[in-house]
Homo-oligomer: A and B are copies of this chain.
Amino acid sequence: MRVVPSMMDDCHAILDILLNSGIFNRTDAECVDQMFNEAFTKPEEDTYRFLSCWEGITLVGFACYGHESLTQDTWDLFWVCVSGATRRKGAGRALLTEVQHRAAQERGRLIVIYTSSTEKYTPARGLYESMGFTRTAVVPDYYADGDDLYIYSKRLAWRES
């Protein structure tokens, strides 16, 4: 598994992974597509960064993260998704490790992840928890009735006392 900054050409493979994930839908994919385009057409705004995970010559996953505006060194993992065929092989962990590493290099203090309480996100929540993220907050019925917002957060190591 090799995690590197995404290139513009990665866009189609990233959208394919999302649409075939069984987790995200077309609206999610459109949102990612917009963020991806913004990352490449407005780099001066420096809002979204994308990482691609490669297994040989196959793009098997991606992550999107960035600094949370109006905060002091808080970073947000906006998206992470791994292709169905590649799950349980460490791509998600490799992507999250690299996000933490890069955020810490830019003085990141805290990483937050917003996710859903529903069952299809159980593997993702397991990954976050196994990597030291703590569920710090819940907003009931945020995404829809019965679908709560879970907020995970983790202090980055270089600032840990």
State which size class the interface on A falls in.
20 to 34
Complex interface: chain B residues within 8 A of A85 (CB): none
Grouping DSSP codes into helix (H, G, I), strand (E, B) and loop, the A interface class, with mixed when no group exceeds half, is: strand
Copies in the complex: 2
A151 and B28 CA atoms in complex are apart in Å by 23
Task: Give min CB distance, A11 to chain B, whole Å.
Answer: 19
B136 touches A136 (CB 8 A): no
A153 touches B139 (CB 8 A): yes
A124 in contact (CB, < 8 A)? no
Complex interface: chain B residues within 8 A of A139 (CB): 112, 136-137, 151, 153
Kindly specify which of A15-23, A64-72, A89-97, A98-106 makes contact with the partner chain.
A64-72
